[in-house]
Amino acid sequence: MSEATMSDLMFTPVTELAQKVRSGELSARELVETSLGRIEELNPSLNAFVEVFADRALEEADAITPGDDRPLAGVPVAIKNNRSVSGGLLTFAAEFMGDHRSDYDHNVVTRLRRAGAIVVGTTTLPEWGILPWTNTRRFGATRNPWDPTRTSGGSSGGSATAVASGMVPLAHANDGGGSTRIPAACCGLVGLKPQRNRISQAPDAADSDLAIDGVLTRTVAETAMVLDLLEGYELGDANWAPPPAEPFAAQAAREPKALRIALTSYSPIEEADVDPVAAQSVRDAGALLEGLGHHVEEVQPPWRMPGLAEQFTAMFGPLVSLQVTLAQMLVGREPTERDMEPLSWAILSLSRQMSAMDTHGARAMLQIFARSLIRWSAQYDAILTPGLAQAPLLLDSVAPETDDPMGLFRRSGHFTPFTPGVNITGQPAIALPLYQREDGLPLAVQLIGRPAGEGELLALAAQIETAAPWADRRPGV
């Protein structure tokens, strides 16, 4: 293959890549070498990777031969650096972690490897995964391939940059308040937040009220196929989502029936102004859905609950604190203020000041909100919203050092008001890169599905993709 054709490989659907390896048309080594070459070329300017496992990846690639029937045989993937890869640095993008190396694979890594994927490296994130942009004291700014002056989102910003720029065709992500959907929206990718507890967090945790793992891809079909690989119970899980009646990939490939869809650009956060371009994208998507035979109704969801942001922070804080506690066990000491960015320290301090009653009270209030919102949304098959309230932010405006850390945290909510609610309810939601702004930046919409309804949601998303394809768009890096 020519050099240009080889570079195209990283923009090829992962099912096609695995088939090329299976048939002998391409070797796994050639695929991995292409990925590593793209990383060497682009990462110095885009800063998506924490660590690259070149020698190990090539060795694993050489062990894969034609005829390998695993669904991701030879496909290069990247793992967000808040999940363990055996032998690799585990940093959470925090200086406090030092050069700690993990000695085990997280569940998502194990399952991807079992499917034949080859981990070529780990990707950047905001410190402890807190913010919806990736710009840290430890690793610097991760840049958006569509406009390197802007953020690629967060907290899975490195993974989004790696996929959007063609360094890898597939990357791991996770989502505790939008951290898969936000970078998907910033970088023109598909980002699904699955149903709560759909993908096990083994062996690190039993479950999570807010966070769930997933992937970033270019197409809905790829997302559905990988969800089939990652979903399911692991020994010791405290809770798990009901298994699907049939594979998600099969459901995504089926034309959906006529659905009742709610359309809204009414922000859950009153102070968050929604960019008129983002609001228009929702109206345009609604017209597209009506043209596909669905009933679309503009609504004003009851999701402005007084004190909701404070209650969410009261639950999000312990999630951060849990990661720091794990880090303490790994590095053998307590963190100090000097170890952390101002916002990380502020959230950790806030969490440590909370009593058990405070935490349980916040959880109860969020459950009340979740029940109320799910009860209201039960009349619809899906809810259509903007992906983001604003265009991807300029990196110069979101530096990690600040004298007002909680003000920075509030600002992050104004950037991403439509994503955290479904982390509270647990419902699946997906960001779709349906449009582009006049300057070429991606412009996404979000679809929220019924509880445990990923199959129907993916089928609807796939129908939209067929009607208005986006996978051939590439940034000019």
Per-residue pLDDT band for 477 (boundaries 50, 70, 90) equals confident
Residue of 155, 156, 208, 344 marked catalytic: 155
What Å distances lie between residue 303 and 148, 413, 425, CA to CA? 34, 14, 11
Q: What is the structure's pLDDT at 208? A: 87
Contacts of 359 (CB under 8 A, 6+ apart): 314, 315, 318
- pLDDT at position 135: 98
Q: Rounded CA gap, 448 and 2, in Å?
A: 42
**What is the rounded distance in angstroms from the CA atom of residue 122 to the CA atom of residue 441?**
25
With a pLDDT cut of 70, the percent of the chain lying above it is 99
Is 412 catalytic? The answer is: no
Q: Give dist(CA 153, CA 141) in Å, integer.
A: 11
Among candidate residues 35, 80, 156, 165, the one labeled active-site is 80
Distance of CA 102 to CAs 88, 89, 288, 316, Å?
6, 6, 47, 25
Q: Is 193 a catalytic residue?
A: no
CB of 184 closer than 8 Å to CB of 146: no
- Residue 9 DSSP one-character state: G
Go through the chain and tell me how many residues it has: 477
> What are 299-351's pLDDT values in tens digits?
999 999 888 888 998 888 888 888 998 899 999 999 999 999 999 999 999 99
Question: Cα separation of 115 and 112, whole Å?
Answer: 5
Question: Residues 152, 159, 165, 179: which is the catalytic one?
Answer: 179
Q: What is the mean pLDDT of residues 216-222?
A: 98
According to the model, what pLDDT value does residue 4 have?
Answer: 55
Mean per-residue pLDDT, 103-121:
98
> pLDDT class for 6, splitting at 50, 70, 90?
confident
**Mean pLDDT score, 65-93:** 98
Which amino acid type is present at position 338?
Answer: R
Q: Which residue has the higher pLDDT, 115 or 5?
A: 115
Q: State the average pLDDT for the chain.
A: 96
Whether the CB-CB separation of 201 and 236 falls below 8 Å is answered with no
Q: Is 66 helix (H, G, I), strand (E, B) or coil?
A: coil
| Pairwise CA distance, residues 32 & 54, whole Å | 9
Check residue 444 and give its pLDDT.
Answer: 98
Give pLDDT, residue 424. Answer: 96
Euclidean distance between CA atoms 253 and 461, whole angstroms: 10
DSSP string for 160-182? HHHHHTTS-SEEEEEESSSTTHH
Q: Is 372 a catalytic residue?
A: no
Quote the pLDDT of residue 206.
74
* Euclidean distance between CA atoms 446 and 426, whole angstroms: 15
pLDDT tens digits, residue range 162-177?
Answer: 999 999 999 999 999 9
Own/partner pairs, 465-469, CB within 8 angstroms, 24+ separation = 465/219, 465/220, 465/432, 467/288, 467/291, 467/292, 468/288, 468/434
